Structure 1
């Protein structure tokens, strides 16, 4: 309520009630974003990461650090200034479970996931929150850059192949865009999601443990009509080290198959069945030659043992989907990047064959 008083001989005075003043302050107040950072084993950049998050401008930050089994000395390097909460689940919950735990400890309108080896520019979270506040938008990622060469992209959105393979989009190229753009999958290295979207999607499936969970969440967001986006001017510097080991390949392959088995429609699985079978045989051979064949077979065994979870998960995801397969699967690509295959000649041959197959098959999904 606004009361206008006109004292005798003087100009009118305007008195704003406490309710109106509070409402005006709420409109102008910066958004509150809850940030989750996971700490596991060696975390030499954790303190720098935390400092950069707390130095964010244009937003108010509530920070949660989840100790998934971090070295004590790396945790001790983070200043104990009372500006973040430390959660200790007592065991390694993986990226998926750790993020779910961290988000569950927050009650903010926006939630952000930031890798512990990322350093954010001051305005990054504000830009991501601004984009994520739109009602038709789901996960919004930063422009993830190579920390030692900030002009080079680490990920500007991750392409997803029709057989479920995914990779860092735009790796080692320069960013020339200044406006936000759609991506097939938003990288979980630095991403903001509205709380309502995160809740509707149910967060991550904890069974993924690590790898592919951000891709799976993005595709489910597209299936529900919320676009995944990248803001190229919101920069996260990533101390990126690409590595492959048997355990990582086990999780990548296992989780890729879990994603395809639960997200792809029945018609898509039938239409793509021959291609999926050929890819599995080729990957199994590659795994044996590369020395991680046992881990590839271990992934198949895990999927078989957890078939009840896959069936339940598939029923849930397919029931929640609001977009037809012809719409969201148009985001998938039949072309593999050279970084996936390695050989330029093999990449060209594989892409030519799969592209021809997909031109015909996509009409029936």
Structure 2
């Protein structure tokens, strides 16, 4: 019988010392002697080291001299470990009993997966936080089934992207993809990583028998909208294969103009404009990055497109007008029809 692979648990913190005891107390009993535990602190002032000394003396603290965000912090933590599986866990997430074993077992049970997540729950495990990420062809990503009752399904299944709140990645896949792009800082880095892994032929999935509790509220603000919009365009420019991007570009531009009006009504037009300026300013870098990403592509454009959707049923997007829903869905059907059978 094969030995279960070791796991390197990486927790990125920023002023999270108050949350760590609960997270660590749930996690530690599930770890083996071969597992690693690294807490990466992004220049906090709340002394997470004291928490580790008291609750988890086996953990290593990697104290950064500056805040590199979740993306940069995670990269630093993974680089400081060596186990074949990496488990990125939010500092305020609680791993249910048996969850780590279920996530670990998926490495052999799902050999084509490069990354997978737990079923992330909220409200004391009564509702779904995310059952796997949903990616719209416009580049938006959101938590699937958020707020719904826990599903009855128990078999692992594939998803468009896996949440960074409780994310397992094979080290070989992480290394080949280059990990998160540290320029993202935060928001959308998990979606971008998953799309790049799928470009390389890896699957991305969910292990629904592994539960991780993580209460979450979608808070809006200029800071968040800026990163969401800038990073969305970086992902579109980097991950989308050329045939797909060429077919979508007219719609993407028209939508972005329309989105400015939505942003103005929502009070975040300034953040949207700053994001557009940032994308234009970094365009040479984004195109160089695109070249590196696309050079690793093994999946066909049609295969990649199957992981995207025209559904706009996200609880975070409100209720778009029916004509808009019909128009964008029709456009996507046309694009899929043009891509079908091309093999490019």
Pick the TM interval, shorter chain.
over 0.9
| CA distance 1:347–1:151, change in 2 (3 Å) | farther
Match among 236, 246, 256 for residue 280 of structure 1 = 256
Which residue matches 1:187?
A: 163
> What displacement does 1:243 show?
0.9
Matches within 5 A, 1:1-365: 29-56=3-30, 60-72=34-46, 76-78=50-52, 79=54, 81-133=56-108, 134-146=110-122, 148-174=123-149, 175-343=151-319, 346=320, 348-365=322-339
1:20-73 per-position Cα deviation (integer Å, ceiling 9, x unaligned): xxxxxxx66543100110111245322211222212156843110011133415
Mapped partners of 1:30, 1:266: distance in 2: 40
| CA distance 1:156–1:326, change in 2 (3 Å) | same
RMSD of the alignment, in Å? 1.8
User: TM-score normalized by structure 2?
Assistant: 0.92
- Quick check: 2:118–2:207 contact (8 Å CA) kept in 1? yes
> What displacement does 1:241 show?
2.6
- Quick check: 1:56–1:121 contact (8 Å CA) kept in 2? no
> What displacement does 1:348 show?
3.7
Tell me the SS of whatever aligns to 2:259.
helix
Structure with the bigger RCO (C-alpha within 8 Å, sep 6+) is: 2
- Quick check: 2:26–2:94 contact (8 Å CA) kept in 1? yes
- 211-220 vs 283-292, greater mean Cα deviation: 283-292
Mapped partners of 2:24, 2:35: distance in 1: 11
Mapped partners of 2:41, 2:275: distance in 1: 27
Tell me the SS of whatever aligns to 1:203.
coil
Q: What is the number of residues matched between the two proteins?
A: 336
Mapped partners of 1:120, 1:106: distance in 2: 20
Mapped partners of 2:326, 2:77: distance in 1: 44
Structure (1 or 2) with the larger CA radius of gyration: 1
Q: Unaligned 5+ residue runs, structure 1?
A: 1-26
- Quick check: 1:144–1:235 contact (8 Å CA) kept in 2? yes
- Quick check: 1:268–1:364 contact (8 Å CA) kept in 2? no
Mapped partners of 1:353, 1:39: distance in 2: 42
